[in-house]
Amino acid sequence: MSPFTKEERLTLKDRALRQLREAILSGAVPPGERLVEQELSEKLGMSRFPVREAIAGLVQEGLVRVEPYCGACVAIPDRKEIEECYAVRELLEVRAAELVIREHRDEAVLRLGESLERMEAMRVSGEGDLLGEHFRFHEILPALCGNETLHRLWVGLASRVRLYMNRDLSRDPLKDEQEHARLFERVRDGDLPAARAAIRAHLRESMVRLRKRGGE
C-alpha cells in the first residue's frame, strides 16, 4: 500500500505536510531519497504548489535538505547532530516532567500507562508501529506541560532522532519498555528527583546504544 493517502478537512499544504512527514518518519521514504514535486503531486492528488510549500516546511523541520544539483532530499542525520538533539531533548523532557508532576500528574499517569500497554501489546504481537509509540510515550510530558514552545521544540528534535533511529536494527524493545516503566512509576509516585534521573538515564543509555550500533 502506498504511504500516501488522501485526507479531508485540512488545507492542501497541511495535508501534504502531514503525509510527507509521516512517510519520512515511518521509513516509507528513506533518508537520501529525492522528493520530486511532480511525482508527489500525482500521488497526493493535488497541484505542485502545496507540495512545494510542504517540502519547504519539512526543510524547516530538518527532515529534508536541499542539495546542489539534486534538489530536495530526505535528510541523512549524522551522529553529531543526533547527540546534540539528545542533549537538548534531555533538558526539555526534564523540564516538562517538573511542570507535569506539579500540575498535571493524574492526566500524565493515565496517558503514560495507556502508552505502556500499547507498547507491550505491539512488542508481544510483533504488529503495529512500535517505534512510533515509543515517541508518542516520550511526547506525553512535553504535550501536557503547558509550555507550547517547549513542546514545539521537542517535536522538531524528536522527528530528527526518529529519522536516525529508523536505521537502527539493534534496538531492544523490552529494554526500552522497562526504562519507560521506571519513568511511569516515578511520575505516578510524584517523585520529581527520581523522574529526572529516570529521564536522563534512559536518554543517555539510548545514545550509548546508538553509538554501539554505529561501531563508534
The answer for residues whose C-beta is within 8 angstroms of residue 10's C-beta and 6 or more apart is 18
Candidates 3.20.20.120, 3.40.50.300, 1.10.10.10, 1.10.357.10; CATH matching 12-74: 1.10.10.10
All CATH 1.10.10.10 domain ranges of the chain, comma separated, are: 12-74
Q: How far apart are the first and last CA of the chain?
A: 36
**Please, which pLDDT band fits residue 167 given cuts at 50, 70 and 90?**
low
Q: Residue 5 above 80 pLDDT?
A: no
Rounded Cα distance between 66 and 164, Å, is 18
CA 137 to each of CA 60, 72, 169: distance values in angstroms, whole numbers, following the listed order: 24, 31, 20
Mind listing the pLDDT tens digit for each residue in 29-72?
888 899 999 999 999 999 999 999 999 999 988 889 998 878 89
Pairing of strands 64-67, 71-74: antiparallel
**Please, which pLDDT band fits residue 214 given cuts at 50, 70 and 90?**
low
Q: What is the pLDDT of residue 3?
A: 46
Evaluate whether 82 touches 160 at the Cβ level (below 8 Å): yes
C-alpha cell of residue 40: 508527489
Q: Residue 216 above 80 pLDDT?
A: no
pTM: 0.78
Q: What is the mean pLDDT of residues 157-176?
A: 77
- Top CATH class of 79-213 equals mainly alpha
Q: What is the pLDDT of residue 195?
A: 96
H-run or E-run covering 64: strand 64-67
